[in-house]
């Protein structure tokens, strides 16, 4: 039983990262105050190219954690290329003041497998079940 559990955990943590690295090119359209697509999902190790196109004013795209930045305006596209070597969810945000909601112009880059999310989720689950079970165990003993 324990072995199976361990195996499941290992699969959860590393299983998905066995998939092969790909070249991914994603075109992101920016318009006040959102990106389309607003969610980019890639896998660890992928060579990612993000092409930024603006549909109205000058917008930027800064990726949290990776610290990469580009900008674009109608007629002039921006581009970022990088290897997705950090897993997790990172916001990408507009880096050129584009209007009053500029600080809130956000999209999400999710580099799978999202270890952090699974890890914290697992802890919460363990705490939840543990805190429910401990009084029961105490009563038995």
Report the C-alpha gap between 62 and 66 in whole angstroms: 8
Contact between 44 and other proteins per CB under 8 A:
no
- Residue 96 neighbours by CB under 8 Å, 6+ apart: 58, 59, 60, 71, 102
Looking at beta carbons only, is 7 or 97 nearer to other proteins? 97
Looking at beta carbons only, is 14 or 104 nearer to other proteins? 104
Contact between 13 and other proteins per CB under 8 A:
no
Distance between start and end Cα atoms, the chain: 24
Report the C-alpha gap between 41 and 89 in whole angstroms: 9
Interaction site with other proteins (CB under 8 A):
31, 33-36, 38-39, 54, 56-58, 62, 64-67, 73-76, 86, 88-91, 93, 95-108, 114, 116-117, 119-121, 123-125, 127-128, 131-132, 135-136
């Amino acid at each position: 039983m324990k072995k199976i559990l361990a195996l499941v955990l290992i699969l959860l943590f590393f299983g998905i990262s066995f998939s092969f690295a790909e070249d991914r090119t994603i075109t992101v359209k920016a318009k006040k105050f959102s990106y389309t697509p607003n969610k980019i999902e890639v896998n660890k190790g992928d060579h990612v190219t993000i092409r930024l196109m603006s549909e109205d004013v000058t917008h930027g795209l800064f990726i949290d954690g990776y610290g990469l930045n580009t900008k674009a305006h109608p007629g002039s596209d921006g581009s970022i290329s990088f290897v997705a070597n950090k897993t997790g969810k990172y916001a990408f945000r507009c880096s050129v003041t584009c209007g009053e909601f500029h600080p809130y112009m956000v999209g999400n880059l999710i580099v799978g497998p999202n270890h952090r999310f699974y890890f914290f989720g697992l802890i919460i689950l363990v705490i939840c079940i543990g805190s429910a079970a401990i009084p029961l165990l105490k009563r038995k003993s």
